[in-house]
Amino acid sequence: MSEVPEPTHRRRSHAGTRDLERYAGLFAERTTVMRSSAMRDLMAITARPEVISLAGGLPDTSTFPPQSFAAQMTRIAQESAAEALQYGPTEGFEETKDCILEVMGAEGMLPDPDDIIVTTGGQQAIDLVCKTLVDPGDVVICEAPTYPGAVPVFCSYQADVVQVECDEDGMRVEVLEQLLADLRREGRKLKFIYSVPSFQNPAGVTMSLQRRHQLVELARANELLVIEDNPYGLLRYEGEPMPPLYQLDGGDFVIYLGTFSKILSPGIRLGWAVAPPPVMEKIVLGKQAADLCTSTLTQYFVREYFAERRWQQYVDNLVEIYRGRRDTMIEALRMHFPAEATWTEPEGGLFIWATLPDYIDTGDLLAKALRADVAFVPGQAAYVDGRGRHSMRLNFSGVSDDEIREGVRRIGKVIAEQVELYEALTGEQRVAEPAEESAPNVVPFRKAGGEAG
């Protein structure tokens, strides 16, 4: 037998990691705002198999038929192996853009294909937009609460992030207007307003039509860019579809971000951005520098998949499943959360935002919840300024009905223990609020006063 060296799986020996100071001198300024905290360590425990995690944001990919996946990939291998394994254009393939046009068309949008760039997931689209527009110290406005994954992107470009409160009709545009006036007076440079107008992550709320019009007009009047991030628009479980900001504006002052992650698969890492030509030109240069092009292989996969003309049927199927899970979660919240708790009842998307009595810190509650083998995202993750301490984000798309019921029951139990303890500490007796007739124990998104979360 020939001597084959044992495969080694040893960790690279970090000669010199000991000397943090030596590297510290080399780190870019922007790394100092990339934070690590005890709370992040806590989140690491949510990966334990026995934990029911309502903390994720995962679509349910188990609903995608494996035979269909196999057939499409086989076809690619047989008919276009060499091309699918090759680099592609930085902007993305025309065929991928055709698929994007179909998806955007389903929500009433008709962009020029030349205004589209295919990106490595929607997350890269956020990154490229920031790379193109943000200088250190520039102001970026987003919702309060906002998509937790956007905060590190804004911070890594050293933006000064300012948040505008939401209520059940989305971002409060009148507050935004006031803020714009304040910023102007202070002479600060605003670059864009980031919004997830439909079924917002994390709050689950949808911006009303009136506010959409107001926001678009405000952008126009002030020649400001709005970044519309719309990953969930097609996942509507009830109510009338709402026109995207992009459609209302016609694409002059709205940069649109889309993704295949929630309607097909996040694993293929395919998203896109639509921007006016001068902005797009810069975004393309940024994309070239970042990764040359988006995966050719997964673009071929999407092309094959859309050729079967069943993508809408698959989305309908997801809508069916997620609607049921949302209903299950709302029912479980009514059953297991205390009378003082409020939560949003989203018409679509993946998340419910629940707010507890203000003496409960959801960061600490997570430690207790983990002992009960259940996890959620503490609300603080959706704010840049420490607010949100009494709220939590709950995901219903990536977990089964049984897990939702059991997970919410477990969270309800740890909350009840905290409520009881607080009463023992203060001598206050909880007075059960009289239930409203239509929706007992449920209040929609808390009207944002001082602290929305």
The residues binding other proteins (CB under 8 A) are 10-11, 13-15, 17-21, 32-42, 44-45, 358-361, 363-365, 367-368, 370, 386, 418, 420-422, 424-427
384 with 151: CB under 8 angstroms? yes
Q: How far is the CB of 123 from other proteins (least distance, A)?
A: 22
Nearer to other proteins, 421 or 432 (CB): 421
**Long-range contact set of residues 217-224: C-beta below 8 Å, sequence gap at least 24:** 218/173, 218/176, 218/177, 218/180, 219/193, 219/249, 219/253, 219/254, 220/249, 220/252, 220/253, 222/180, 223/253, 224/180, 224/190, 224/192, 224/193, 224/253
Which residues lie closer than 8 Å to 333 by C-beta, 6 or more apart?
Answer: 341, 343, 352, 354, 408, 412, 442
Q: Helix 311-336 and helix 401-426: axis angle, to 10°?
A: 30
Q: Toward other proteins, which CB reaches closer, 205 or 354?
A: 354
Give whichever of 281 and 385 is closer to other proteins, judged by the CB atom. Answer: 385
Q: How far is the CB of 324 from other proteins (least distance, A)?
A: 33
Q: How far is the CB of 9 from other proteins (least distance, A)?
A: 12
Q: Among 276, 285, 282, which Cα is nearest to 246's? A: 276
Task: State which residue, 60 or 361, has the beta carbon closest to other proteins.
Answer: 361
Alpha-carbon distances of 223 from 128, 165, 193, rounded to whole Å = 20, 22, 12
Q: Kindly tell me which of 26 and 44 has the beta carbon lying closer to other proteins.
A: 44
Element (H, E) at 71: helix 66-84
Within 10 Å of residue 20's Cβ, how many Cβ atoms? 10
Residue 39 CB, nearest approach to other proteins (Å): 7
Contact call for residues 369 and 446 (beta carbons, < 8 A): no
Q: Residue 24 or 221: which CB sits closer to other proteins?
A: 24
195 vs 418 by CB, closer to other proteins: 418
Tokens representing 66 are 């494996």
Query: How far from 44 is each of 41, 233, 375, CA to CA, in Å?
Result: 5, 30, 10
Pair of tokens at residue 399: 């977990």
Residue 35 φ then ψ, to 5°:
-105, 155
Residue 25 CB, shortest distance to other proteins, in Å, is 14
Q: CB-wise, 278 or 386, nearer to other proteins? A: 386
> Considering beta carbons, is residue 4 or 44 the nearer one to other proteins?
44
In a 3-state reduction of DSSP, which class is residue 101? helix
Spatial CA neighbour of 121 closest among 281, 244, 298 = 298
Shortest Å distance, C-beta 232 to other proteins: 30
> Using an 8 Å Cβ cutoff, are 155 and 161 in contact?
yes
Question: What is the nearest approach in angstroms of other proteins to the Cβ of residue 32?
Answer: 4
